[in-house]
Chain A
Amino acid sequence: MINKGVGLCFLGCLVLLTGCNDQRILEETGFIQSASYDELTNNRIVYGISIPIANPEIKATRAFLMTDAMSSKQARTHLSRQTNLQLVSGQLRVALFGLPLAKKGIWRIMDTLIRDPTISEKIKIIIVNGEAAGLLKKNFKEFPRTGQYIDRLIKKEAIRHSTPLTTLYSFSRDYYDDGIDPVVPIIKDTGKTISLDGIALFQDDTYKGKINPEEAVVFAILRGNFKQGEVSLALPKQSQDTTVMLSSLNSSRKVNVKYEDDGNIRINIQIQATATVSEYIGELKLSNDAERREIERVISDQITEQAERILKTLQRFSTDSLGLGTYVRNSMTFAEWQKLNWHDQYPNVNIECRIKLRIKDYGFRR
């Protein structure tokens, strides 16, 4: 008898609910796959979105819409007047920021991204060297839809550590953490293709400078434990033009914080790395223990030198992208840390870096 009553109640509820407008039926919905943000004068932003179109009757594979407004949500209401689809942001994968905007700070826009419960924490944050909307608008004939193209490009490059994979989560996490600053991949339009333009260094939410793609792997080694990378080095100290290509590069980082007698902070970064030699053009024999040690030493010196150059750059920009502040913080009391203004101190800190590389194996050739 009760079951009958319950059944009736359920039926009643069903009747009550007809005409509910919370439905997001797939084909009536426009999924914003990527969004771009550019700066305009007096605090207005240019907001562009790319929507994949899956209707076989429409030739185009995606739609690009653009408008300018005070905020991105306001812009969205503008845009939704232009389309037959209900715009939703639950499938957003890529957020592109123009470089001029990044230089002024992007946190203002991040607020909507974080606040919106439908937006995934895993969307990729990317800086465009130039105008973001322009890049997103452009179709690259030989590649997938531009948004997807960028998404896959970054995802693939991140596996090889040519760039960090910065998501909304990791950006805001590093933004809030006072011991580390966020880094973001930066891309640019190179005519027929899009290419990676290095790593953008942020201080809090403002762009300060970038690291070239060639240095990206060494930067990644410095940044933390590292697996599966490739680096090609020219070894100038050898007699002839010697180059070596290292692959399957694994490394682990150790950071020590010491205080000198005068109270200055000294940070020591120790990195242990192993790698496979996949190419070696030179005179030494890798199978010979002594000669291999020699090569290892040379390579280590070479990488250390690069690393030191990167550290100098970071200190010049005053961006603690490596998270050294965390180690400093964890080595002192809370009150001391509060007193210490890390961003002011950082450029003057004495950072030492030592990389030790071991060759694990060297292929089929002796």
Chain B
Amino acid sequence: MRFFKRIMKTIFMKTIVSAASAQKAKVKPEIPTLTHILSEFNDCVDLVHRYYPEVNVHLVYFDHQVDHDKLYREVMNPLIHVHAEEEVPKLLEQSQFTLVRDSKELVEGILSGRVAIFSNSKTYLVDVFGLQSRSVSQSESETVITGPHDAFTEQAGINLSLIRQRIKSSHLKVIKLSVGEVTKTDVYILYIKDIANMTYVNEAIRRISNIEIDAVFDTNMLLQFIDDAPFSIFPQFLTSERPEAIASKLVAGRIVGIVDGSPSALSAPTSFFEYFSSSDDYNQRWMLGSASRLLRFLALFITLSFTSLYVSVTTFHYEMIPENLLITLTESRSKVPFPPLFEALFMEVTIELLREAGARLPSKIGQTIGIVGGIVIGQAAVQAGLTSNILIIAVASSAIASFVTPAYVMSASIRFLRFGLIILAGVWGNFGLAVGISAIVIHLSGLTSLGSSYLTPIAPFKPRDWKDVFIIAPFKYITERPSQSKSPNTVKNKMRK
């Protein structure tokens, strides 16, 4: 153990030293040379090196990172029309060519899809980036019935443009950060000036720049590095694939993060209740929107309590069963050989297996899984006397209820918590249930998201927010931004500069 620690320490020391030396190098920029670049990218077969002897110009770029049309239009075509070496500097004065004096910058430029131009001991970069990427399509994980259907893609540029399209304001600011020692993933922090609270912006920037990791591939991975409470089961940043949802968060004064290579954007600060809202709510009549939102909170209650109540009641609190149900329930239990706790855990695990299998399989086979799982296993389990049919109803309804939660991360957390509650209920009945719920509440009340309370607007108590959290009031009554974003401009319809 101790030995291991020592090794870790030396490794860490080394990385710190190397980081320090890199900083030193920054002070004295290395003059970029072609030979240096070619040796840097040694063994990269996808690197293209072109030479135009008539004008003595070298081009270096990654073949699959550039848009060939653009390359031809911007670089090659002008170069072909140049006849003498002396005319080249004049051509390179055009604004798309940027002069580079630092070798490191040049390497990064080539890596991110630019073309390096070596001419006459000077080096230029030109942006002809053209990655083949997935086109904008529907979101798979967050679907709505009414409302826009486009979703973010894996490319940050497209995602940014999707947001810019929706917020045509010069106040929408974008800050670029880079995360990952090796991957150098671009992370963009978006906020609307004068609406977002700068404390949150600065806090987010601070946390992201403090990340020390070799690679980050997805938003959901990134935000685990910047969580307030990494041990918590609850997500502390809202993620969404829907541009209009993210745009609405921006306008509400929250800040947004986009990670290059990930189709989901994060938004913070967030509260527990935000995970239960969907853009669909706003696109319907307000009463229907409110009803479906309340339904989701009911679903939360059902998910957490149904199976555990079944276990608690059938194990300890028989007197809670209404007379008409008593006989049916006892009858269905009479063939089951296990205590209710194991019976319930068995069914819950089965459901989780089905869900996991359904998620991993292509959607066409997924349907078969649904039929096999739902009908065959469910029916057979009851007939074989492994479970009672009332339990199947309880488990199934609580599973369905858990999928009502629009945010997948949250519904997964809640489903996980359910197991804890079932065990507590199986051991200590209603007392265990009360203890479990108390524990959840205590945990939630300690949580923060970017330093602001996770339980807003219940605690801190902001009844004004309720009309946009538990219900949706008609829009003309929602005049203020959520209190959690602590916006300098709280009133929605008037912008104070």
B12 to A: closest C-beta gap in Å:
21
Tell me, yes or no, whether B40 is within 8 Å of chain A by CB. no
Q: Is the interface of B mostly helix, strand, loop or mixed?
A: helix
Chain A residues close to B by CB (< 8 Å): 1, 3-4, 14, 17, 20, 22-27, 29, 31, 33, 52, 54-57, 88, 90-91, 93, 118, 120, 148
Contact A91 B321 (CB under 8 A): yes
B→A interface (CB under 8 Å): 231-232, 314-319, 321, 323, 326-331, 333-336, 339-340, 423, 427-428
In the assembled complex, the Cα of A205 lies from the Cα of B167 at a distance in Å of 80
**Inter-subunit contact B427/A120 (CB<8 Å):** no
- For B331, give its contact among A22, A25, A31, A55 (CB under 8 Å): A55
10 contacts between A and B (CB under 8 A): A14-B427, A25-B315, A27-B336, A54-B330, A54-B334, A55-B334, A56-B334, A88-B318, A90-B319, A118-B319
Q: Which residues of B contact A27 (CB under 8 A)?
A: 330, 333-334, 336
Q: Secondary structure of the A side of the interface? A: loop
Report chain B residues within 8 Å CB of A14: 423, 427
Supposing A17-B427, A26-B329, A26-B333 touch, asked if A91 and B323 sit within 8 A by C-beta, the answer is yes
Nearest 5 CB-CB pairings of A with B: A90-B319, A54-B330, A54-B331, A27-B334, A27-B333
In the complex, chain A residues whose CB is within 8 Å of the CB of B319: 88, 90-91, 118, 120
In the complex, A118 Cα to B321 Cα: how many Å?
A: 13
Q: Which of B232, B314, B323, B428 contacts A26 (CB 8 A)?
A: B314
Shortest distance in angstroms between B328's beta carbon and chain A's nearest beta carbon? 8
Nearest B residue to A56 via CB reads B331
A23 touches B336 (CB 8 A): no
Give the shortest distance, in Å, between B336 (CB) and chain A (any CB).
7
Chain A residues with Cβ under 8 A from B340's Cβ?
25-26
Question: Is there an interface contact between B318 and A26, defined as CB atoms closer than 8 Å?
Answer: yes
By a CB distance below 8 angstroms, the chain A residues around B231 are: 1, 3-4
Complex formed: what's the CA distance from A27 to B338 in Å? 11
A31 contacts B318, C-beta separation under 8 Å:
yes
Which residue on chain B has the smallest CB distance to residue A89?
B319
Contacting pair B318 A24 (CB below 8 A): yes
Bound complex: CA A120 to CA B483 (Å): 47
CB-nearest residue of chain B to A118: B319
Shortest beta-carbon distance from B293 to chain A in Å: 30
Residues of B within 8 A of A55 (CB): 330-331, 334
Task: Kindly state the separation between the CA atoms of A60 and B339 in the bound complex, as whole angstroms.
Answer: 25
Assembled-state Cα–Cα distance A118/B427 (Å) = 20
Q: Which of A26, A90, A118, A120: most chain B Cβ within 10 A?
A: A26
> When the two chains form the complex, which single residue of B232, B327, B339, B427 contacts A25, counting CB atoms closer than 8 Å?
B339
Complex: how many Å from CA A178 to CA B134? 85
CA distance A160 to B448 in the complex (A): 59
CB neighbours of A93 from chain B (8 A): 323
**Is B339 in contact with A23, judged by CB distance below 8 angstroms?**
yes
Which residues of chain B come closer than 8 Å to A3, judged between CB atoms? 231-232
A1, A23, A57, A91: the one within 8 Å of B315 (CB)? A23
- Distance in Å from the Cβ of B178 to the closest Cβ of chain A? 31
- Given A17-B428, A26-B329, residue A91 in contact with residue B334 (CB < 8 A): no
Of A22, A27, A52, A90, the most chain B CB neighbours within 10 A belong to A27
Residues from chain A with Cβ under 8 Å of B330 in the complex? 26-27, 31, 54-55
CA–CA, A85 and B175, complex, Å:
71
CB A167 to nearest CB in B, in angstroms, measures 14
Nearest-CB residue, chain A, relative to B229: A3
- Choose from A20, A25, A91 the contact partner of B326 (Cβ within 8 Å): A91
Specify which chain A residues have a CB less than 8 angstroms from the CB of B314 in the assembled complex: 25-26
Assembly CA distance A118 to B320 (angstroms): 10
Bound: A143/B335 CA distance, A? 27
Chain B residues positioned under 8 Å from A1 (CB to CB)? 231
Residues from chain B with Cβ under 8 Å of A52 in the complex: 326-327
Minimum Cβ distance to chain A for residue B333 (Å): 5
Q: How far is the CA of A52 from the CA of B321 in the complex (A)?
A: 14
**Taking each of A4, A22, A24, which has the highest tally of chain B beta carbons within 10 Å of its own beta carbon?**
A24
Cα of A215 to Cα of B314 in the assembled complex, Å: 45
Cβ-defined contact, A24 with B334, below 8 A: no
A27, B391: Cα distance in complex, Å: 14
